[in-house]
Amino acid sequence: MGYSGYSSWRVAAVLAMSGVDADITPSRQTTPLSKVNNSFSHTRQCDRHTVRPHVGSGGPQIAAGVPAALTIHAKTWLAIVGVGLIYSAQLFSLVGAGVQGNAIGAHFGQPNKVTWVTTPITILTVILSPIVTQAADYWGRKWLLIGMTFTGVIGSIVVARANNFNIIILGFTITGVANGAQALVHVVTSEVLPRRWRGYGQATDMVATAVGAIGGLLAAGGLNRHGNHPEGFRTFYYIATGIFFVSCVLCVFAYSPPPTPKQREYEGRFWDKMAMLDWAGYVLLALFLVLFSVGLSYSKNPYSWSDPHVAAPFAIGIFFGVLLVIYEAWVQKDGMIHHELFSHNRNFSIATVCSFGDGIAFFATNTYFAFQVSFFYERDALRTVTHYALVFIVAIFASVATGTYISVVREVRWITVLAFLIFTSFFGGLASTDENSSTLVWGLPVLLGGALGISLNTLVTIAQISTPVHLISSATGVLIGVRSLGGVVGLAIYQALFVDELSNLPANVGGAVVEAGLPQSSVVKFITALRAENATALAAVPGATEEIIEIGEKAFKDTYLDAFHHVWIPASAFVGATAIVAVFLFNPKKEFNMHVDAPVEKIEVERHAGGVVQA
């Protein structure tokens, strides 16, 4: 296409990236782009438009100071909607797993293994995010997105038809592959829009996640309401099957990106592409996550820390984790954690640490918030999930407001700090709850929704504009992977703390009821009936009076309340520390320009005085 391909919107974009504004007016003469002086000290003419640069702020300007406007057509917005529906499907499935985990565990007689409903999803998101984002540079974005999302169809069918808990875990493991494409959604919505609009792009992602989460919560609550549909999770995952399938089909038709530079360079060279991936790093990461999680999941469940069931996998997992750090830091410098990501400025490093804290926060609430609400305050499953749905309703408004704020003000530092301070307040509030806090737990989700709506938007935006353009996919993969890593590590720690506190339940309840007059021989039957919430069996326990039953129920609830507090207090400490880390961010205002990294259509720059400049 030669020189004519460099139409004036591209020159204006270059000027904008350089902190310079441009006036574009019609001209009959042309001058090769190669003659444009980098200093922009005098008028250059190109592509039938004269570019008159002047120092200023903001994007390119047209016709004597009239602002230019990039025209983004329906094709781009449809692509964003298409990949957004993939995110909705992922969150529909994920929150459904979280809020139905206890019901699924109880259905199959495995209440102590409920974290393995969501853990495979989070582990695979961590492992696959860097793999997929690296591979997407060589094989392209589209078919990786579609292929991985289709595994959600398969995994959902497996869960819906499972006849034992091991098959449940297998189904969620397959579904976890679909969630491994999560980072690519953030990549696509950013690179098809101007860099200054990335706040808006990430807001659309957050809206998509919120819509999926709200739908998942309400569907799960409705299907499991009053406990009269013990296999409601099966219907839920048949619905999830349909959503995953529709999102695949929509993405096939809505998203058609151009080949990436590496895709063109390595075309037809399959084994060369495979050799460019960081296979040793992937294996070390997988071994670390799986063994670390297995070790902590067995802690006091039922094994002590000194038992080989806990100590062996935990120690070996930590060993592989250390090997991973050594390998990625000193051996493989262009692998899944590319060293160039950290060479641009400090923001990417800080955003990555903050993303870890964000994962710790989100996965704690996804697993334990609805659990506490249902245990103490609500017996109606639909009302229980409505508490959590409030989080995502608020997150929609918070994310849109945040996207607008970032795009207009070009500020990311203090709003990120604010997000983690809100997180801290939320967990602090939960740590102060008791069995009479039913009103408070209606208000706290507003705080969590505000924090989630801000944090993911700002962190992805910061990471993507703080790294070289050719590494945007890898940067997003690392960020989302680290967020899920925070979830994996956090869940393992929370489960260990929660189960450890619940291990005191026999002593707490037994001591209280024996002191109240229950015979020692009746303690086991009493606790068994109490756990099963079987009022008839409880009243039939020898020596159990109404007063003793009340005392036993109080000790039972107090033990669970302490267990929940053992989750919320460390979570509050984690996100509070993350808020301090976020203070060291800075605002990269010059990076918020009108450059489009990977347009899926011809971009137009409109002149208000007439005429259109087209790429």
Q: What is the mean pLDDT of residues 218-240?
A: 84
Do residues 37 and 117 share a domain? no
- Please compute the mean of the pLDDT values over residues 211-218 and round it to a whole number: 93
pTM: 0.78
Do 58 and 81 lie in one domain? The reply is no
pLDDT of the residue at 228: 55
Q: What percent of the chain has pLDDT over 90?
A: 49
Please give the C-alpha separations between residue 167 and each of 118, 135, 155, 172, in angstroms, as whole numbers.
Answer: 14, 29, 10, 9
pLDDT of residue 58: 35
User: Which of 263, 317, 309 is CA-nearest to residue 289?
Assistant: 317
**Structure confidence by residue, pLDDT tens digits, 384-408:** 889 989 999 999 999 999 999 998 8
Q: Of 67, 84, 107, which one is at a domain's C-terminal end?
A: 67
pLDDT of res. 410: 87
Region 222-229: mean pLDDT is: 72
Whether 312 is covered by a domain: the verdict is no
Q: Is the per-residue pLDDT at 40 higher than 50?
A: no
Q: Running DSSP on this structure, what letter comes out for residue 51? A: E
Determine how many CB atoms are found less than 10 A away from the CB of residue 333: 11
Structure confidence by residue, pLDDT tens digits, 509-555: 999 999 999 999 999 999 999 988 888 899 899 999 999 999 999 99
Residues 140 and 39 in one domain: no
Highest mean pLDDT among 13-17, 43-47, 368-372: 368-372
Q: CA angle 416-420-421, nearest 5°?
A: 110
Type of residue numbered 83: V
Query: What would the pLDDT profile of 425-436 be if each residue is shown by its tens digit?
Result: 999 999 999 999
Q: What is the mean pLDDT of residues 316-342?
A: 92
**Two structure tokens written together for 119:** 């853990």
Phi, psi of 38 (to 5 degrees): -60, -25
Confidence of residue 9 (pLDDT cuts 50, 70, 90): very low
Q: Is residue 511 part of a domain?
A: no
Q: Is residue 553 domain-resident?
A: no
Residue 157: CATH number of its domain: 1.20.1250.20
Measure the CA dihedral 101/500/503/528, to 10°: -10
Residue 11, pLDDT > 80, answer no
Do residue 102 and residue 36 come from a single domain?
Answer: no
pLDDT tens digits for range 61-111: 333 333 445 666 677 888 888 889 999 999 999 989 988 888 888 888 887
Q: What is the rounded distance in angstroms from the CA atom of residue 526 to the CA atom of residue 524? A: 5
Dist CA 299 CA 306 (whole Å)? 9
pLDDT score recorded for residue 598? 60
CB 201, CB 406: distance < 8 Å: no
In a domain, 416, yes or no: yes
Cα gap 435→561, rounded to integer Å? 8
* 3-state SS class at 377: coil
pLDDT digits (tens, 9 = 90+) for 468-498: 888 888 889 899 889 988 988 888 889 889 9
Cβ contact 558:508 at 8 Å: yes
User: Backbone phi, then psi, for 51, in 5-degree steps?
Assistant: -105, 115
What's the rounded mean pLDDT across residues 136-165? 94
What mean pLDDT value characterizes the chain? 83
Residue finishing a domain among 28, 52, 67:
67
Residue 148: half-sphere exposure toward Cβ, Cα within 13 Å: 29
Any domain includes 522: no
Question: What single string gives the DSSP state of each residue in 19-71?
Answer: TEEEEEEE-S----GGG--TT--S-EEETTEEEEEEE-SSS-EETTTEEPEEE
- Dihedral class, residue 99 (left if φ above 0, else alpha if ψ from -120 to 50, else beta): alpha
Is the domain of 379 the same as that of 406? yes
DSSP state of 503: T
**Interatomic CA distance for residues 454 and 578, integer angstroms:** 14
Torsional class of 47: left (φ above 0), alpha (ψ -120 to 50), beta (otherwise): left
Looking at the fold, whether 146 and 194 belong to one and the same domain comes out as yes
Q: Is residue 214 one of the residues assigned to a domain?
A: yes
- Asked if 397 and 490 sit in the same domain, the reply is yes
Could you tell me the pLDDT band of residue 227, with boundaries at 50, 70 and 90?
A: low
Asked whether 208 and 87 are in contact (CB, 8 A), the reply is yes
- One domain for residues 386 and 493: yes
What average pLDDT score do residues 345-354 get?
Answer: 94
Structural domain that includes position 396: 74-278+332-502+563-588
Of 111-115, 151-155, 209-213, 546-550, the least confident: 111-115
Do 47 and 184 sit in the same domain of this protein?
A: no
Are 423 and 570 in the same domain? yes
What dihedral angle (degrees, nearest 10) is formed by the CA atoms of 340, 346, 352, 355?
Answer: -150
Per-residue confidence (pLDDT) for residue 592, from 0 to 100: 72
32: pLDDT strictly greater than 80: no
Local confidence band at 45 (pLDDT 50, 70, 90 cut-offs): very low
Q: Do 85 and 57 reside in the same domain of the chain?
A: no
Query: Residue 615: pLDDT band by 50, 70, 90 thresholds?
Result: very low
Quick check: 577 pLDDT over 80?
Answer: yes
| Number of domains composing the chain | 2
Closest CA to 198 of 364, 410, 346: 410
Q: Are 358 and 459 in contact (CB under 8 A)?
A: yes
Mean pLDDT of 143-148: 94
314 inside domain: no
Three-state DSSP string of 72-108: CCHHHHHHHHHHHHHHHHHHHHHHHHHHHHHHHHHHC
* pLDDT value of position 41: 34
Q: Is residue 547 situated within a structural domain?
A: no
Last residue of a domain, one of 52, 67, 82: 67
Do 211 and 353 belong to one domain?
yes
pLDDT at 115: 77
Biggest CA–CA distance in the chain, Å, is 102
Whole-number pLDDT of residue 492: 82
